[in-house]
Amino acid sequence: MGLLEQLKGRYKVLSIVGMAKNAGKTTALNYILEEAMDEGMLLGVTSTGRDGESSDLVTGTEKPRVFLDAGTLVSVPTQLYEMADAGLEILKMTDYSTAIGDLMICRVADSGYVQIAGPLNIQAHKKLCREMLDMGAEMILIDGAIDRKSIAAPEASDAIILATGAVLSRSLKKVVEETAHTVNLYTLPVEEKPEIRRILEESGDGERILTISTEETGRKVTLPDIQTGLGASRYLDEAIGAETEYLYIPGALTKNVLADIHPKKLKQVIILTKDPTRIFIDVHSWQQMVKRGLRVKVLANIQVAAVTVNPFSPQGYAFDSEQLTGELRCVLPDIPVVDVKRVF
């Protein structure tokens, strides 16, 4: 069974997120596009920046181009319209502006290569995706070309396809470890208690650090005078009292943010954050803190629909494909893992 066969019907909008540059994100996009061509499935394609050019605009390295079949819906800015090898029919001039022209929604009239671009903010992407679905697209693919973290955010799409590969490290073990860590963070448990979610909704704009006491104390809320957790670990420790059950940190959650919280207090509280893209803690530090009792929940997690693997690195080394995919499947048994290079 192909990857698209496993995804269609479950998701309407998918973001393709690369763990690093050259992790095979565009190759993964082309793989799904080719499967869609074989199955006669109508896709919509957009990007968080610009993709489909033959070489990386920053590094100058060669990149896979994006080939779109006839019928595909695609977002293209005016300055890239004439650069397409494919024949493009303009369906709509949108209200979205980019650095390379106003954005258009086009239908591919004649198959060929296309450079894709799209709006830079998530809300505009959501509106654009709805328009493409209304125009008949069965599924939308968002190419995460600029900010890998923001396009992974749960409000951006129904789920993500995570592209990983040898570019992360010369150690296969480390590639597997870091990929599994990212997936584990993305799928952290969601805080489901209605009263906790209500308290956060009623306590301002969701951008303030706060503590919530136990149910036995009537869920008292405290807003410490701390603007950000960065550089304020000692003050966070002071904010945690004997009755504190939750510590809500809306901004970046790092190792240093938690560093000065007493181990007993760290074990006592549940750390709450908006979503997993706010967490910047390496795998070994995370494992150590979890062993000491760290508990983290999110208001929304990220559905990982699949992991694609590129066993080749632009630095000239490569892993055995079967070994890499096999080890990833062992640590991620519930998620499809596909080496798109082997398919092509």
For residue 341, the model assigns a pLDDT of 72
Q: Per-residue pLDDT for 265 more than 70?
A: yes
Same-domain check for residues 12 and 153: yes
For residues 143 and 182, state if they share a domain. Answer: yes
Q: What is the pTM of this model?
A: 0.89
Number of domains observed in the structure of the chain: 2
The closest alpha carbon to 269, from 302, 240, 298, 289, belongs to: 240
Give the residue numbers spanning the domain of 238: 194-298
- For residues 18 and 137, membership in a common domain is answered with yes
Burial of 10-20, coded b for 16+ CB within 10 Å and e otherwise, reads: ebbbbbbbbbe
Residue 118 sits at φ, ψ, to 5 deg, of -160, 180
List Cα–Cα distances, 139 to 49, 91, 134, 174, in angstroms.
19, 18, 11, 33
pLDDT at 77 over 70: yes
Write out pLDDT tens, residues 94-122. Answer: 988 888 889 999 999 999 999 998 887 88
Phi, then psi, of 164 in degrees rounded to 5: -130, 170
Is 98 in the same domain as 138? yes
Can you list the alpha helix ranges (DSSP code H) found in 153-193?
172-186
Q: State whether the Cα torsion 189-192-195-201 is positive or negative.
A: positive
Do 322 and 174 share a structural domain? yes
CB atoms within 10 A of CB 258: 21
Q: Give CA angle at 98 (94, 102), nearest 5°.
A: 35
- pLDDT at position 50 is 62
Is 149 in the same domain as 271? no
* Amino acid, res. 320: D
CATH, residue 260: 3.40.140
End-to-end CA distance of the chain: 16
pLDDT for residue 344 is more than 50: no
Among 167, 212, 217, 203, which Cα is nearest to 324's?
Answer: 167
| Residue 53 contacts residue 65 (beta carbons within 8 Å) | yes
Query: Which tens digit of pLDDT belongs to each residue from 228-263?
Result: 888 889 999 999 999 999 999 999 999 999 999 999
Residues 330 and 275 placed together within one structural domain of the fold: no
> Does pLDDT of 326 surpass 80?
yes
pLDDT, tens digit, 9 for 90 and up, residues 167-218: 999 999 999 999 999 999 999 999 999 999 999 988 866 788 999 999 999 9
116-117 and 296-298 strand pairing: unpaired
Average pLDDT of every residue of the chain: 89
How high is the pLDDT of residue 237? 93
Does the pLDDT value for residue 295 go beyond 60? yes
Same domain, 234 and 294: yes
CATH number of the domain within which 16 lies:
3.40.50
**Do 294 and 318 sit in the same domain of this protein?**
no
Q: Are residues 177 and 312 in the same domain?
A: yes
Spatial distance between the Cα atoms of 104 and 41, rounded to a whole number of angstroms: 22
Q: Could you identify the residue written with the tokens 């296969």?
A: 172
